[in-house]
Amino acid sequence: MKLVTFNIRCDCGEDGRNNFCFRKPLILEKLRREAPDAVCFQEALPHVAAWLKEALPDYSVIGCGRSETLEDEQMAVAYRKDRLNLIAMETFWLSETPWAPGSRYPRQSICPRTGTEALFQDLASRQVFRLTNVHLDHEFPEARERALAQLLARAEDRRLFPRAPEVIAGDMNAEPQDPEMALLKTAPYRLGYRRHRRYLPRLRAGGPALLHRLYPDQGLYLRGGGKMDGRGGRSVSLRPLSGVRRPPSVRRKGMMGEL
């Protein structure tokens, strides 16, 4: 199974020849070549999410805006309808009141931050797994640290399929060595990091989770708990989602993962 995390870049009309309207065919061509089973998009404004639903007929696209009125950027998740069955879906806010739309931590940028969580069954292997798409705060390390703690606490408090493998993907707005990322180095999590090269680790069924980072901002987290595709382990390969024209400041923000 192939998963993708992709910061599609907020379409604010400030990028000149790299504006979203010019990148549309490149995005579609790259997704066509890679043929992922699920894609985690960050910074998808409502009109971009609407375009994704129209332009990707083989996928269902879920998610909602992060504001109190469910507008603004969303952490959209697109999944292949012929490969994955959606069992449950939830949007939550990274805050002290995750059920309150538009809520934030006291020390955070003006931008609310959300997670889009989906529980899937792989129709090929019958394996159930959970995928969460996030975009952490870009200003305050404290907000990123609290958000990571919130995500890990959710992973420890599952009621529905509690032992299903978990994937947390998205734009972390942090380097692996930053202090707020230390949470992910504690058991049962390990940090794996490679830059500009392919990385294929192995993860035993039921073993510790792995955090795989190919570029600074984008992350793909795997949490153990069962077999994938009927094998005794899972292999993960990561490589950049390259070839999609973006401004230099955001050109690193794509990553592929295969389960």
What tens digit of pLDDT does each residue of 112-144 get? 999 999 999 999 989 999 999 999 999 999 999
Helix axis angle for 20-34 and 46-55, nearest 10°, is 40
pLDDT in tens, 31-85: 998 899 999 999 999 999 999 999 999 999 999 999 999 999 999 999 999 999 9
Indicate the average pLDDT of the chain.
76
- Phi, psi (rounded to 5 degrees) for 16: 60, -125
CB atoms within 10 A of CB 81: 12
Our count of domains for the chain comes to: 1
pLDDT at 43: 94
Domain residues for the domain of 108 are: 2-258
Report the b/e string of 213-224 with b at 16+ CB within 10 A.
Answer: bbbbbbbbbbbb
pLDDT digits (tens, 9 = 90+) for 144-201: 999 999 998 998 899 999 888 888 888 888 877 889 888 877 645 444 333 322 222 2
pLDDT tens by residue, 211-224? 332 233 445 555 54
Cα 207 from Cα 20, distance rounded (Å) = 41
| pTM score of the predicted model | 0.78
Query: What secondary structure does DSSP assign to 38-52, as a single string?
Result: EEEEEEE-HHHHHHH
**What's the CATH code of the domain at 145?**
3.60.10.10
